[in-house]
Amino acid sequence: MEGDFTGKDVYGKHFSPKDYLKMYYSFSKEDGSQEDALLNFYLQKFHKTFTVDGVKGDTLIDIGSGPTIYQFLSSCGSFREIIATDYTDQNREEIKRWLKKDPDAFDWSQALKYVCELEGDREKWVEKGEKVRSTIRRVLKCDVTQVNPLAPLVVAQASCVTSALCLEAACKDLTAYHAALRNIGSLVKPGGHLVLLVALGGNFYMAGEQMFFCLYLEKETVDSAVTEAGFDILWSEEAKNSYSPTYSDCKNVYFLVAQKRIKV
């Protein structure tokens, strides 16, 4: 199934954060369920990157955060500040709701407990949540199609840029994808890190009843774009898509950590 490219205006009008979160990030009642498999994979790889491997620094910028905060649960202890970003107003508002402990905010407690379990103490999940809140200093608008995705703001290059399941939704073709990777790569200081979570082999994903475009990507395409953007890939890992094919037709998800080359 191939759909037409989903433009920015459609996201602004029709993307429902609550529908998206309910479909993809609600931990099931049973441990080890298929529904949890991918979120567990994401959390494990972020844990490896920031807690085990020790990627750290001053500032982390997350590009295309959507309405989610799971990508910050391991990095919050490794950076002085985190900048969350997204194109749509409603996604940024959803993050702010969680930051303010709004009763209507999405419940991330199970993800927090899982990450704390990976770190050795499941009972520290409340403390972990407070750490995430104190580390996310700004929630900004971003547009990966712009040479400076945070324009008109100009921020200092970051120690690390992360982006999860964003570029393949925001780019209509491979030319745009390569350009977007260069754009977000420009936000990383030399020697800093780029961490990507990518949907491979898909054409669409759903949020509630609304279908959204996904750029068909293969591992080799992603690797090539990352390398061309000035990065050396340190390690990567794939996992099979475990969601219902009615949610998304992507075949695999791909986690990648790369380091920006230092020009001599």
Q: Is 64 annotated as a binding residue?
A: yes
Q: Which helix (H) or strand (E) holds 21?
A: helix 17-24
Angle at 92 between CA 102 and CA 141, to 5 degrees: 155
CA distance 77 to 28: 27
Q: Is 177 annotated as a binding residue?
A: no
Q: Is 91 annotated as a binding residue?
A: yes
SS3 170: helix
Contacts of 241 (CB under 8 A, 6+ apart): 38, 199, 202, 248, 250, 251, 252, 253
Q: Is 65 annotated as a binding residue?
A: yes
Angle at 245 between CA 243 and CA 250, to 5 degrees: 80
Token pair recorded at residue 34 = 């298929």
Q: Is 20 annotated as a binding residue?
A: yes
Give 105-156 as a DSSP string.
S---HHHHHHHHHHHT-GGGHHHHHHHHHHHEEEEEE--TTSSSTTTT---P
Distance, C-alpha 16 to centroid of its chain? 17
Q: Are 208 and 176 in contact (CB under 8 A)?
A: no
SS3 98: helix
With 0-12 / 13-18 / 19 or more C-beta atoms within 10 angstroms meaning exposed / middle / buried, residue 131 is middle
Q: Is 144 annotated as a binding residue?
A: yes
φ, ψ for residue 230, nearest 5 deg: 100, 20
User: Which residues sit in the known binding site?
Assistant: 20, 25, 64-65, 70, 86, 91, 143-144
Binding-site residue numbers for S-adenosyl-L-methionine are 20, 25, 64-65, 70, 86, 91, 143-144
